[in-house]
Chains A and B, each alone.
Chain A
Amino acid sequence: MSILLDETTRVLVQGITGSEGTFHAKRNLAYGTKVVAGVTPGKGGQKWEDQVPVFDTCQDAVDETGANASLIFVPARFAADAILEAADAGVGLIACITEGIPALDMARVYPYVRAKGVALIGPNCPGLISPGKANMGIIPGEITGAGPIGLVSRSGTLTYQVMYEMFTRGVGQSTCIGIGGDPIVGSNFIDVLGRFAEDTETKAVVLIGEIGGDEEERAASFVKENVDKPVVAYVAGFTAPPGKRMGHAGAIVSGSKGTAQAKAEAFESMGIRVGRNPTEVAELAIASIA
């Protein structure tokens, strides 16, 4: 098993005819992902890359192809609308790659999709991959393979680094999910940890956090109460000064809260081992299942 995404997931891509959408949808398709539909308003009726039907609306795409997941590449100012459209069309999983969505838009989208029971990954995230089964987003599939480690992260390339460090040591992953670097994301660490806890294929979980907010602290408590599997953690941003935003909209230390130090201490106080760098966290994860 894996979580959220596997070889049976039927993916529609919103913004499939744009340059980003085309580039990544091709890669996902080549990986073996069932990309069954595209949505670009005004381009309904076309065939993308001579094989995938394009629709004007998500509802049409779902009705015609049975799509049950949506991958979103539309520009930031249209992205909140795209998420709501996908949720209303009835898909159960949405991954929104788009970066730069206003926080106010996400504040409204979040409770709406939550109430519908839709699993939203992102925005401002690399998406998710269940290695060997399906890839939905922009994670490079070729750097890893299937295995027993679940991975959940607020970062993109840092996630690839850790996946790669594990795989070069012979250990792959069940599912890797980048939850995104914005202040409000659709799924937080706890949502994903809960799924990994129930997944029989996942033997251990790697959690990659960064500065800002208190999701890592909440995840640490959640793991102690609810996760029986080994969990190891990494936190980026020990050298980040307070008040400076480090790239991600969510990565800023304000007040005394949100520092990497506080997060690492929260994990350790709950018995979760923390790697000092990406190499060490990969080694700890592998050792935890040995």
Chain B
Amino acid sequence: MDLFEYQAKDLFRRYGIPVPDGRVASSPRAAEKVAAKLGGRVVVKAQVQVGGRGKAGGIKLADDAAGAGAVASQILGMDIKGHKVRRVLVERAGDIKAEFYASFLLDRSAKAFLGMVSAKGGVDIEEVAATDPEAIARVHVSPLTGLQPYHVRRMLFDAAIPKEAHKGAVVLLETMYRCFIDADASLVEVNPMVLTGDGAVVALDAKVSLDDNAAYRQPLFAKLAAEIPLPKQEKIAKEKSLNYVKLDGTIGIIGNGAGLTMSTLDVVAEAGGSPANFLDIGGGANAATMAAGIDLIFSDRKVRSLFVNIFGGITRCDEVAKGILGALEQLPNLKAPIVVRLDGTNATEGRDILERAARPNINMAPTMLDAAAKAVALTKGKR
């Protein structure tokens, strides 16, 4: 789960990571109040989970509270690369002497934690990595022994961070690492980490991704998740524990297993169709799961047909077939074509059940590729 900047900074405060004074606001009035409390010049920042908000006009300075309210009213409701701005973060503006970069993440390739520091901060770090990789100091941290003082020294010296920033940077990096571990994060990134005029080192921006698998042991997780808006369908999916991702096409997809479902999207695209979603019903799909899944898919008004692609292993195809029929009984108004391909455990029984039911909108296909072609052909019609 990716946090908003204001959520990440609230988390940072809990671990003593220095961040500017500030607060989130969801109306111009609230922004004005926050600014008045802070006093002096403030910066008003759009809270969206997408890069490039500064260039898009989503970050503005204001000299006083009234000014903060005015720029907040410009920023709130803006559309930044398809993300609607619902909140702004109002922070005290400080003088910046230098901008750096710092992060800790889980390095999948090395199977260890990776710490990175660069004196080139405030810019796209992937750009720096591509054009000037030497400018990024990297150390791998063993998950068994954790961050050591020498790791921090190496990053600071290798990145040629100026000496006057060292003391503050050590504190920031050590508290960042503690947050990374304690919060079960997969990424904690500060870009820029700034040196201010009075010699402090502060996290001016904050990006945090938390591991969904660790939600059960992170008491803050549910509260943070509730603040992150999801597309309507994904919200319903979450409530019904369906593994669903909304896409933009017209052909609904249900598969069992993440890999097979991804592959199903690919063969549909290859056959000239456009998948409307990813939905993995997992093992042991019963009628209720099937009905919830089918209902969810057709709640997207763009969907014209549905492709159910099942390879029975633990999931039995006869159960899936019953699930489809059960779903159709619960959804009597559903007339859109459904293409079903069943193979593996009890496939013959499953196909028999569907053929006997003789539903006009259910089409059987012998293979995954035939089914994809059929689903694409049937999409041409009306819903």
* Docked-complex contact B112 and A239, CB < 8 angstroms: no
* Docked-complex contact B143 and A211, CB < 8 angstroms: no
Q: Does A169 contact B (CB under 8 A)?
A: no
Given A102-B217, A239-B265, A247-B261, are A279 and B313 neighbors across the interface (CB < 8 Å)? no
- Residues of chain A lying within 8 A (CB to CB) of residue B255: 157
* Docked-complex contact B266 and A236, CB < 8 angstroms: yes
Q: Which of A111, A211, A251, A277 contacts B368 (CB 8 A)?
A: A277
Given A238-B269, A255-B126, are A247 and B280 neighbors across the interface (CB < 8 Å)? yes
* Docked-complex contact A239 and B368, CB < 8 angstroms: no
- Residues of chain A lying within 8 A (CB to CB) of residue B265: 237-240
Q: Does A89 contact B (CB under 8 A)?
A: no
Q: Does B216 contact A (CB under 8 A)?
A: yes
- Residues of chain B lying within 8 A (CB to CB) of residue A244: 245, 278
- Residues of chain A lying within 8 A (CB to CB) of residue B247: 239, 241
Q: Which of A251, A276, A277 contacts B258 (CB 8 A)?
A: A251
Q: Does A210 contact B (CB under 8 A)?
A: yes
| A181, B258: Cα distance in complex, Å | 9
Stretch in A3-11, A36-44, A50-58, A148-156 with 4+ CB within 8 Å of B: A148-156
| A279, B211: Cα distance in complex, Å | 35
Stretch in A59-67, A137-145, A194-202 with 4+ CB within 8 Å of B: A137-145
Q: Does B311 contact A (CB under 8 A)?
A: yes
* Docked-complex contact B259 and A236, CB < 8 angstroms: yes
Q: Does A130 contact B (CB under 8 A)?
A: no
- Residues of chain A lying within 8 A (CB to CB) of residue B263: 158, 161, 234, 236, 277-278
Instruction: Give the size category of B's interface with A.
Output: 35 or more
* Docked-complex contact A211 and B184, CB < 8 angstroms: no
With both chains docked as a complex, state the minimum distance between the C-beta of A258 and any C-beta of chain B, in angstroms.
9
With both chains docked as a complex, state the minimum distance between the C-beta of B266 and any C-beta of chain A, in angstroms.
5
- Residues of chain B lying within 8 A (CB to CB) of residue A181: 258-259
Q: Does B352 contact A (CB under 8 A)?
A: no
Given A156-B257, A236-B259, A247-B280, are A107 and B368 neighbors across the interface (CB < 8 Å)? no
A–B pairs, 28, beta carbons within 8 Å: A103-B184, A103-B214, A104-B143, A108-B143, A139-B313, A140-B313, A143-B313, A155-B259, A156-B260, A164-B344, A183-B186, A210-B262, A213-B108, A213-B109, A214-B109, A218-B109, A236-B262, A236-B263, A236-B266, A246-B262, A247-B261, A247-B262, A249-B213, A255-B126, A260-B266, A276-B270, A277-B368, A277-B369
Residues of B within 8 A of A (CB): 106, 108-109, 111-113, 126, 142-144, 181, 184, 186, 211-214, 216-217, 243, 245, 247, 255-263, 265-270, 275, 278, 280, 311-314, 343-345, 367-369
